[in-house]
Amino acid sequence: AILGAGFLVSGILDLVGYVRLKGNLFTSPSPWMIVYAVLDIIIGIMLLLHPIVFAGVVSWLVGIFVVAFGVIEVVGAVQLHKFSMPMWGWMVFSGIVDILCGVVFFVYPAMLAVFLAVFVIMRGVSLIMYGWRADSVLM
């Protein structure tokens, strides 16, 4: 219930933020703010009204997110390779692992914690490697 209320409040505040920024000449809000707000509100309502049903589909939602993240990472890596940017190979590897983890979320939902840990570890290694590369470029 607390998580559902948090998502609901977050969605409402995102909508309020979008409306407040819409009239500002210096910053135009992204239409994605509305998408995030609506998704937050839907997730909040689902958690408040049907927490057991939501618990059953949460691994599918996480799986969709992880697969999408992996696909975006692979596409980004291909674009970086076109411009001869370093680290594109790691991004391809990481994206493929993300896609595989997302698919496993659908097949074995009980293994969500294990593969979510793999996903988070891959993100941490990526951040360390990108930070290390950025540090060596700046010096």
0.85 exceeded by pTM: no
Distance CA 31, CA 44 (A): 20
Are 66 and 42 in a shared domain? no
Structural domain count of the chain = 2
> Per-residue pLDDT tens for 55-107?
777 778 778 888 898 899 899 888 888 887 777 788 888 889 889 888 887 78
**Domain extent at residue 41:** 1-49
Give the DSSP per-residue string, 75-135. HHHHHHHHTT-TTHHHHHHHHHHHHHHHHHHHH-GGGHHHHHHHHHHHHHHHHHHHHHHHH
Are 117 and 99 in a shared domain? yes
Are 70 and 103 in a shared domain? yes
> Per-residue pLDDT tens for 102-121?
888 778 877 777 777 887 88
> Per-residue pLDDT tens for 34-44?
888 898 898 88
Are 67 and 130 in a shared domain? yes
Task: Say which residue the tokens 């076109």 belong to.
Answer: 82
pLDDT, mean of residues 2-10: 88
Going by C-alpha positions, the residue among 89, 66, 68 that lies closest to residue 77 is 89
Confidence of residue 12 (pLDDT cuts 50, 70, 90): very high
